[in-house]
A and B are shown apart, each in its own frame.
Chain A
Amino acid sequence: MHELGVATEIHRACRRTMESHGPGRIEEVRVAVGELSAVEPELLQFAWQAVTAGTPDEGSRLEVEWRPARQTCLKCGEVAERGAGSWLRLCPRCESPLRVEGGDELDILHLSFTPDDVQEPAP
């Protein structure tokens, strides 16, 4: 359950970011998850619920932006085809090795929270 550790890190990082703004609760966190980061969005969202349960952030949303990897063949250019359930193989057209770019993202992009003394979420 790798996602639990990742969700814990996200929560910790968000809480650190909020520290300078005084007490409050998280409304929504948006993260980028790359195809090659070995993190499953659904499991991550499930883990987020578990990690925030019983904290002031219980009920907050974790939105995932999925970032696919791009496969490029030196001869054929960008290759959209994928192996069944797989990526990163030889080029299906000419069998040259494929170069893979991106897809390793695992970043916090945006955090919305409500300070305890106001009613609306901070932008």
Chain B
Amino acid sequence: MNVQQRVLAANDEAAAELRRGFRADRMLVVNLISSPGSGKTSLLEATVRALTGRVRMAALDGDIATERDADRLRAAGIPAHQILTGGACHLDARQVRTALEQAGMGKPDILFIENVGNLICPTSYDLGEDFKVAVLSVTEGEDKPFKYPAIFSRSEVTVITKSDLLPHVPFKLDEARAQVAALNPTGRLFVTSATSGEGIREWCDLLMERLEGKRRA
């Protein structure tokens, strides 16, 4: 018999349900995707420092093992819940739904979902987010966007991290910008450092803009 069904239909349905809930709660949801070690948690720590007192934030952290990322964000001062995937290379919408039910984090203004460190698999799974953020550190090499085009073309925002290390690494910032622009002509790109604070204000301004947009919608 002919079937004609998307393989990830079950995930897409769960994601659509999450998105309806997030819209009703006027909650901005951001899905961060990157290689392991590119600085997603550090970016979020810097974001929490910059926005504490202005908005309520919370985080879901996906990892194969350990609670380290959630511990760091709790230490930074926001509710955080670790999702242990036990070997799976990405988060799916059902895990996010279950985590939100278990975590009891209330209704933050901004929910960060820190995906499992991986530039391939998380790309295919809609989590009900408002937008995806591709995070790329200057220690990884400027050719990452062309090597992993799916994530950079599907992320509305690219955040380059660890810019304080630029004098010490051969990373060609202009080339990275050009590759992201070629893949994603309408995307936004921020150059940041959680250490020096460069670009954090601009990134936070974008979050606030998007949150306001969601509240008006």
User: A residues within 8 Å of B by Cβ?
Assistant: 1-2, 5-6, 9-10, 12-14, 17, 31, 36-39, 83, 86-90, 97-98, 100, 106-112, 122-123
> CB < 8 Å: which of A86, A88, A106, A122 contacts B153?
A88
B10 to chain A, nearest CB (A): 6
> CB < 8 Å: which of B7, B87, B146 contacts A10?
B7
Tell me the chain B residues, 124-161 only, with Cβ under 8 Å from chain A: 124, 146-147, 149-150, 153
20 residue pairs from A and B, CB less than 8 Å apart: A1-B89, A2-B120, A5-B90, A5-B92, A6-B7, A6-B8, A9-B7, A13-B10, A83-B146, A88-B153, A89-B182, A97-B182, A100-B153, A107-B7, A108-B3, A108-B5, A109-B3, A110-B3, A111-B3, A123-B1
A14 CA to B4 CA, complexed, in Å: 11
Give the A-B contact count at a CB cut-off of 8 A. 78
A31 CA to B4 CA, complexed, in Å: 9
Contact of B102 with A by CB under 8 A: no
A103 CA to B38 CA, complexed, in Å: 28
Pair B3/A106 contact, Cβ less than 8 Å: no
Pair B124/A38 contact, Cβ less than 8 Å: yes
